[in-house]
């Protein structure tokens, strides 16, 4: 049964109001994804819903508008002033959009079947979008908070039985692992292909999840995305950090190796989450790389605004010297991967790092 023109007017007015409400709420969510999360994928999803509703906001609804005669104009609720942070605003606007879409779906059936169908489709899509936005916000903050508490950082090397070695370290309290598998033969003289690297990274990722540890990949952004790693570590010759950030999104961690204070400053300016400072001593992990010594560690301690990890030939025997230079965090390779008891050395290093005055 069709409605009379007089009966359609209030329905067209409420459709106009709720199209405005839904589009405005989506714009708030879009701006959060753009500026706070720097997630172009989530920006696009918000924008797509907003544009679809915009195409349905035809002139007959706009011409029915009577803002001056709306008795609810200017009404507010005390809950609106209690939203104290971005996630609360995002959640409130997602609820606002969902409610508006439900109104459009119900009343659209009376005057505009296409609008009703589109509103229903958008509403279901919005449920997933809201969760994605809130998860991205939580993971962005959570990873950085966890990183701030890490003092010991294991960078793997191609040793036999790597997974059991890493698990022993995790059992002893290690909470930050980087998978490093450079091209070249392993200890068995056999070079891994990418499928084998993927399988090894997946296994280490599972272990880190089991123990609540952060897991990063050296160099390989594709591998990091494939195993859903917490981030990557980049060298000076790797992909520029701003490009890596666009590919990884803002919630994942990006660390950067630095060998001089100018490189540290540039990494910080580019938005890194932490830096490696070294090599403190000559190490076979970085053949041909001149050690920077403790002077650079001291300079980093004075200036670096993000967490930094001293690296390069550090073990239980010289850790005190590195700490005396100002380091509160260290990254190690052979000290753990070649230890006769990785768990014991992990505990020894953690105890010294966490109890250093």
pLDDT in tens, 46-68: 999 999 999 999 999 999 987 76
**254 vs 272: CA distance, rounded Å:** 5
Which tens digit of pLDDT belongs to each residue from 145-174?
899 999 999 999 988 899 999 999 999 999
- Are 109 and 189 found together in one domain? no
Q: In this structure, what token pair is assigned to residue 247? A: 């590919």
Tell me what the mean pLDDT of segment 250-260 comes to.
93
Nearest by Cα to 321 from 288, 352, 289, 276: 352
Query: What's the CATH code of the domain at 44?
Result: 1.20.1260
Note whether residue 250 is domain-resident. Answer: yes
Residue 25's pLDDT band (cuts 50, 70, 90): very high
17 and 153 inside one domain:
no
CATH number at residue 170: 3.20.20.70
What pLDDT band is residue 233 in, cutting at 50, 70 and 90?
A: very high
259 occurs within a structural domain: yes
Q: Is 172 within a domain?
A: yes
Res. 346 pLDDT band, cuts 50 70 90: very high
Neighbours of 283 (CB within 10 A): 17
173, 292: one domain? yes
Q: State residue 39's pLDDT score.
A: 78
Structure confidence at residue 136 as a pLDDT band (50, 70, 90): confident
pLDDT at 85 > cutoff 90: no
For residues 221 and 244, give the distance between their C-alpha atoms in angstroms, rounded to a whole number: 7
* Interval 85-110 mean pLDDT: 94
With bands split at pLDDT 50, 70 and 90, how would you rate the model's confidence at 187?
A: low
Q: What is the mean pLDDT of residues 244-263?
A: 93
Which two structure tokens, joined as six digits, stand for 314? 């550090």
Q: Which domain holds residue 71?
A: 5-137
Cα separation, 55 vs 122, whole angstroms: 13
Confidence check: pLDDT of 1 > 60: no
Residue 142 lies in a domain: no
């Amino acid at each position: 049964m069709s409605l009379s023109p007089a009966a359609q007017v209030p329905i067209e007015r409420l459709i106009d109001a709720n199209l405005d409400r839904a589009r405005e709420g989506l714009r708030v969510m879009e701006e959060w994804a753009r500026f706070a999360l720097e997630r172009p994928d989530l920006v696009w999803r918000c924008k797509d819903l907003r544009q679809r509703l915009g195409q349905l906001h035809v002139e007959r609804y706009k011409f029915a508008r009577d803002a001056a005669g709306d008795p609810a104009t200017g009404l507010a609720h005390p809950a609106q002033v209690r939203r104290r942070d971005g996630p609360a605003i995002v959640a409130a606007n997602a609820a606002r959009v969902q409610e508006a879409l439900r109104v459009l779906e119900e009343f659209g059936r009376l005057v505009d079947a296409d609008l009703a169908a589109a509103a229903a489709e958008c509403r279901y899509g919005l449920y997933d979008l809201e969760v994605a936005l809130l998860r991205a916000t939580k993971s962005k903050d959570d990873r950085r908070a966890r990183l701030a508490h890490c003092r010991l950082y294991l960078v793997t090397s191609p040793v036999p039985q790597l997974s059991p070695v890493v698990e022993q370290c995790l059992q002893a309290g290690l909470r930050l692992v980087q998978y490093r598998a450079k091209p070249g033969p392993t200890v068995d003289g056999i070079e891994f292909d990418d499928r084998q690297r993927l399988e090894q990274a997946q296994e280490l990722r599972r272990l880190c999840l089991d123990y609540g540890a952060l897991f990063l990949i050296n160099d390989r952004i594709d591998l990091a995305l494939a195993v859903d790693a917490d981030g990557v570590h980049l060298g000076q010759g790797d992909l520029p950090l701003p490009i890596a950030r666009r590919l990884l999104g803002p919630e994942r961690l990006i660390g950067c190796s630095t060998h001089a204070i100018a490189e540290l400053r540039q990494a910080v300016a580019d938005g890194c989450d932490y830096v490696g400072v070294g090599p403190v001593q000559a190490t076979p992990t970085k053949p041909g790389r001149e050690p920077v010594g403790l002077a650079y560690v001291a300079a980093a301690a004075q200036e670096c605004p993000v967490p930094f990890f001293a690296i390069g030939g550090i073990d239980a025997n010289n850790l005190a010297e590195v700490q005396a230079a100002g380091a509160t965090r260290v990254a190690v390779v052979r000290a753990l991967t070649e230890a006769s008891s990785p768990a014991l050395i992990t505990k020894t290093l953690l105890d010294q790092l966490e109890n250093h005055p």
